[in-house]
Structure 1
Amino acid sequence: MTERESAADIEACAARWVVRVDQGELPAGETAELESWLAGDPRRLGAYVRAQAGWTLLDRARVLGGEATTPAPARPPSRRALLAGGGVAAAAACIAALFVPRLLAARYGTAVGEIRRVPLADGSMAAINTDTTLEVAMKPGKREVRLDRGEAWFQVAKDAQRPFVVESGPVRVRAVGTAFSVRRRDGGSEVLVTEGVVEVWSEGTGEAPRRVTAGERVFASDSAGAARPVPASLEITRELAWREGQIVLDGEAFGAAAEEFNRYNARKIVIVDRGLADQRLVGWFRTNEPESFARAAAASFGGRVTVRGDAILVEAGTRLAE
C-alpha cells in the first residue's frame, strides 16, 4: 500500500514549483508535470496557491537582495485554485525559511586588476579592489559583509537600527553611518577610517572593541585583537588612491611598491638584484602600467629593465654594480 503524502511534503513541493514558475515560463514537459502533480491530490491546489501568496509577500526581500526585479508572473493552474484559502502566513513562513537567506545575500568579486564600484541594497556603496571577494547580506537587524580576501572601501548609509558589520576572518568592523576600508592581510586585517567612527575587534580574543575615528588606521590581528589606532590622515588619501586606479608613492621602498603593482597585474615585477628593493621612490602611477613604473623606477636609481614573457625583470645597472 502506497504511503499517503504528508501535508508538509505537499507544502514543500508546492513551494519548489512556485519558485520554478517564477524563474520563467515552464517548458511544455514541465507544465504537464505540474498539471499532473496538481491533479494527483486535491490538497495540492490549495498548497500551490498558498505558496504563490507567500512568495508574493517576499517580493520586497527580492528587491533588497539585488536580484531580478521583473520576475515572470506565476500562472494560476486553474480557476478553482483561486478559491483555495487559509494558511497564507504559514506558507509564507515556510518559503521564507527556505529562500530568504539566498534572496538577501549577494556575492561580488573582482579579477586581478579589476576595480568595481557597487551600490548596495541599503543605499551604501562599496568600492572593491583587485582580486577581492565580498558577500553582502541585508538582514532585519544587521547588515553583514564578509570579506574573504582582498580589500574594499565602504560608504555606509545611516541606519541606527541596523549596524553595518564587516567580517574579515575573525576580525570585525562595526559602523552605522560612516566610510572606511578593510584590507585582508596575513594574520589579520587593516582598517582605515575616512569618515565617522567604527569599532574594531577580533572574535575569540576577549579584547574589547577599539574605537577608530576619521583619519586613523588600525591593524587587527586574528589572534590578539586590534592594536591602538594611529593617526593616518595624510596617508589615507594616498593609500586609497586605488579607487581611481592609481598608486601614489611618497618614499616607499621599491620592493614594497613592486608587490603592490603585482596585486593588479598578471605581468609581475621581479627584482633580480635584491639590493634594489630598499631604493626609495616618489611618484604617481596607473595600477595597470607595471612596465612603465618599473622603467621609471629603474631610471631613478640607474637600473635596467628586461621583459621576458609575463616577467618584468629589474636589475642593477653599471653605476649601481660598481
Structure 2
Amino acid sequence: MSPSASEIDDEAALWAVRIDARGLEAEDDPELKVWLAGDPRRAGALLRARAAISFLDRGRALAGATPSIERRGHSRRGLIAAGGVIAALVGGGIWKLRPQRLDTGLGEIRRVPLADGSMVAINTSSALEVDLKPKAREVTLKQGEAWFQVAKDTDRPFVVAAGPVRVRAVGTAFSVRRGEQGDKSVGVMVTEGVVETWVEGVDAPPRRLSAGNMVVLASTTPTPVVESPADIERSLAWRNGEIALDGESLEEAARLFNRYNSRQIVIDDPDLAKERFVGLFQTNAPESFASAVAATLGAKVSVEERAIRIGRAQAS
C-alpha cells in the first residue's frame, strides 16, 4: 500500500530539517536518494518542506528572534518536533504567510524554488512579489525579467502581473520581461506548454501562446505572436549566466552586457556600433567580449575604471 500524502509530507519535513541542519544534499546521501526514488510525489514534498524552512528562518530574522532550530546537533526529538511544525505548514498553513519579495542586484541571477513546487529564475536588477493563496498563485513582476517553471495545479492558476499585462498558466514554463526606464512594453516567451495573456482594461479575449511563441505587448494595439524557438533559447541564455549573440549590432550587444556590469561598454565609433557579431559570452565578462571584437574587427579597446571603450584602430 502506497503512503498517504500526509505521511509523505511528514517524511519530507524530517529530511528537510536534516538537510537544513547538516548541509546535506541529495547526491551525497544514499538513503535520501532511495527515498526520493520510491515515490514521484516525494521530490515535490521535499521542495515544499525546504521552502517552509526558508519561510520560518525569514520570519525569525524579520522578527529579530533567535532561531529555535539550531544548525548543529539536533536530537531526534528536536527533529520530529521541527518536522511536525514544517509538515503543518506544508499541509495547510503555508498559504497564509505573507507574500514573498524576491529581487536581484546588478549582475545577479537567482534560481528560487517556490513553496508550491514551482521554480523561478530571476534575471539581473529585477524585483517580484509571490503570493501563494488557497485558490490562486499570484506573482507581481515589479521590474526586470523572470522565467517561471510552474508546478501543475489545476485548482490554483498561476498568474503573473506586469503592469496591466497578465499571463496565466497551470503547468508550463515561460518568461516575462518588463521594459526599462519608461518603456511600458512587456515581453512574454513560452518554453513549455501553453499560456494565456491579456491586458487589463482592454476589451479583447485572452491570447493563447504555445511553446516556441513570443509576443511583445506595448500598448492597447494588438501585436503579432511570433514563433521562434531558437530566438527564445538565445534570449533566455541568461539563465546560465550567458549572452548569446547571433548577428546583433555591437550597439545592441553593448546594451546587453551593460545590464549586468557596472563597468559599461561604450562604442565610440557610430559606424563600428552598426557592425554585427556572433558569439557566446559570460554575462560578467565584458572584457572577453571586447577582446573578441578587437580580434575579429580590428578594433581598439581601452579599459578604464568605469568603462570599456571600443573604437576604430588608428591606421598606421
Q: Report the TM-score, using the length of structure 1 for normalisation.
A: 0.68
Give the equivalent residue in structure 1 for 2:160. 166
Superposed, which structure 2 residues align to 1:145-294 within 5 Å? 145-185=139-179, 186-221=183-218, 223-224=219-220, 227-294=223-290
In the alignment, structure 1 segments of 5+ residues that lack a partner are: 1-59, 74-99
C-alpha distance in 1 between matches for 2:292 and 2:96? 48
1:187 match: secondary structure: coil
- The alpha carbon displacement at 1:183 in A equals 0.8
Return the offset for 1:277: 1.5
The one-character-per-residue Cα deviations of 1:99-152 (angstroms, maximum 9, x if unpaired) are: x99823100110100100000010000000100001000012210101111111
* Structure 2: gaps spanning 5 or more residues: 1-47, 61-66, 69-93
Q: 2:122 aligns with which of 128, 138, 141?
A: 128
How far 1:272 sits from its partner (Å)? Answer: 1.2
Give distance in 2, aligned partners of 1:169 and 1:251.
31
Residues 119 and 125, structure 1, Cα contact 8 Å, conserved in 2: yes
AA in 1 matched with 2:239: R
How far apart are 1:238 and its partner, in Å?
1.3
Residue equivalent to 2:56 = 68
Root mean square deviation of aligned Cα: 2.6
> In the aligned structure 2, how far is the partner of 1:110 from the partner of 1:213?
28
- Cα separation, 1, equivalents of 2:263 and 2:273: 18
Q: Distance in 1 between matches of 2:207 and 2:291?
A: 42
* Inter-CA distance 197–101: structure 2 relative to 1 (3 Å threshold): closer
Deviation, structure 1 residue 317:
1.6
Encode CA deviations 1:33-89: one digit per residue, 9 max, x unaligned.
xxxxxxxxxxxxxxxxxxxxxxxxxxx9xx76952169778xxxxxxxxxxxxxxxx
Amino acid at match of 1:270: V
- 1: CA distance between counterparts of 2:155 and 2:55? 24
Contact 1:115–1:245 (Cα < 8 Å) also in 2? yes
Match of residue 91 from structure 1: none
**Do 1:64 and 1:122's aligned partners in 2 also have CA atoms closer than 8 Å?**
no
Instruction: Indicate the residue corresponding to 1:301 in structure 2.
Output: 297
Q: What is the DSSP-based 3-state SS (H/G/I as helix, E as strand, rest coil) of the residue aligned with 2:115? A: coil
1:138 is aligned, of 132, 143, 148, to 132
CA contact (8 A) 1:155 1:180 kept: yes
CA distance in 1, matches of 2:304, 2:245: 26
CA contact (8 A) 1:110 1:133 kept: yes
Aligned to 2:35: none
User: How far apart are 1:263 and its partner, in Å?
Assistant: 0.3
Structure 2 CA distance for aligned equivalents of residues 68 and 225 of structure 1: 45
Residue 97 of structure 2 aligns to a residue whose secondary structure is helix
Q: Give 1:46-85 correspondences, 5 Å limit.
A: 67-68=55-56
Distance between the aligned counterparts of 1:134 and 1:284, measured in 2? 28
What is the CA–CA distance in structure 2 between the aligned matches of 1:235 and 1:112, rounded to whole Å? 24
Displacement, 1:207?
2.5
Give 4+ residue runs of structure 1 displaced > 4 Å after superposition.
Answer: 63-66, 69-73
Compared CA separation, residues 226 and 148, structure 1 to 2 (3 A): farther
When normalised by structure 2's length, the TM-score is 0.69
Counterpart AA for 1:67: F
Q: SS at 2:56's partner residue?
A: coil
Tell me if structure 1 keeps the 8 A contact 2:158–2:170: yes
Residues 260 and 102 of structure 1: is their aligned pair in 2 closer, same or farther, counting only changes over 3 Å?
farther
1:112-123 aligned within 5 A: 112-123=106-117
Aligned residues of 2:95 and 2:132 also touching (Cα < 8 A): no
Q: Matches of 1:165 and 1:194 in 2, distance apart?
A: 16
Structure possessing the higher radius of gyration over alpha carbons: 1
How high is the sequence identity, in percent, across the aligned residues? Answer: 54
How many residue pairs match? The answer is 235
How far did residue 226 of structure 1 move?
Answer: 5.2
Q: CA deviation at 1:299?
A: 2.5
Deviation for aligned residue 1:243:
0.6
Query: Contact 1:66 / 1:121 at 8 angstroms: preserved in 2?
Result: no
